Chain A
Amino acid sequence: QKEVEQNSGPLSVPEGAIASLNCTYSDRGSQSFFWYRQYSGKSPELIMFIYSNGDKEDGRFTAQLNKASQYVSLLIRDSQPSDSATYLCAVGVTGTALIFGKGTTLSVSS
């Protein structure tokens, strides 16, 4: 069974620190990787996607992909209280809809 694993948290970081969110996946044929942010009571919002090994940066966010280790991460630099949310990792595998992890709750304290 194809799985996407995330530490549920909560991950607590002080304002201004770097938050590191991690995700592992089971299917080596996975092709696409997405990070969603979900505020409490709201719907998931796409914030990053990455397809190739290495780093992809967008503002304060950096997605890192290592297909050999079946590992994808999201770094949030200069964390703000407004970044406090649940972050969902989603993985695309041929022949299926996206597979979502259970999410990691991030809490940024001011």
Chain B
Amino acid sequence: ETGVTQTPRHLVMGMTNKKSLKCEQHLGHNAMYWYKQSAKKPLELMFVYNFKEQTENNSVPSRFSPECPNSSHLFLHLHTLQPEDSALYLCASSQERASSYEQYFGPGTRLTVT
């Protein structure tokens, strides 16, 4: 595997379900990000981890819970979601959180909440 991978690529879940999205980066980076992109809307930064520590949480509802066990893996735990949470969820990584580093994105998970 190379770059940034995400699983699953597609997910359909009911509002009462619990599921998790997984992201893995094979670039030796130390910062990882979760973004949400709704249809025809810009990227929304959700969470940032730098060296496994959460450094940003952009007012994300508690039904989204991130976990970063090490610098290569990032999870997004989902529970009691709403239909408006349906979107493309993108994971990205960079060398560090510092602004000068470019981010590389995974292919995304297309989430549909029914």
Contact = CB atoms under 8 A, between A and B. Distances in A.
B45 interface: yes
Given A34-B102, A97-B97, A100-B42, A43 B48 contact: no
A23 B32 CA distance: 25
A100 B42 CA distance: 8
Contacts of B100: 31-32, 51, 92
A45 B99 contact: no
Contacts of B43: 44, 88, 100
Interface of A: 30-32, 34, 36, 41-46, 49, 51, 88, 90, 92-98, 100-103
Interface in B29-64: 31, 33, 41-43, 45, 48, 56
Provide the main secondary structure of the chain A interface.
loop
B102 A97 contact: no
Interface in B61-113: 88, 90, 94, 97-108, 110
Nearest to A100: B43
B108 A92 contact: no
A97 B107 contact: no
A51 B100 CA distance: 8
Nearest to A51: B100
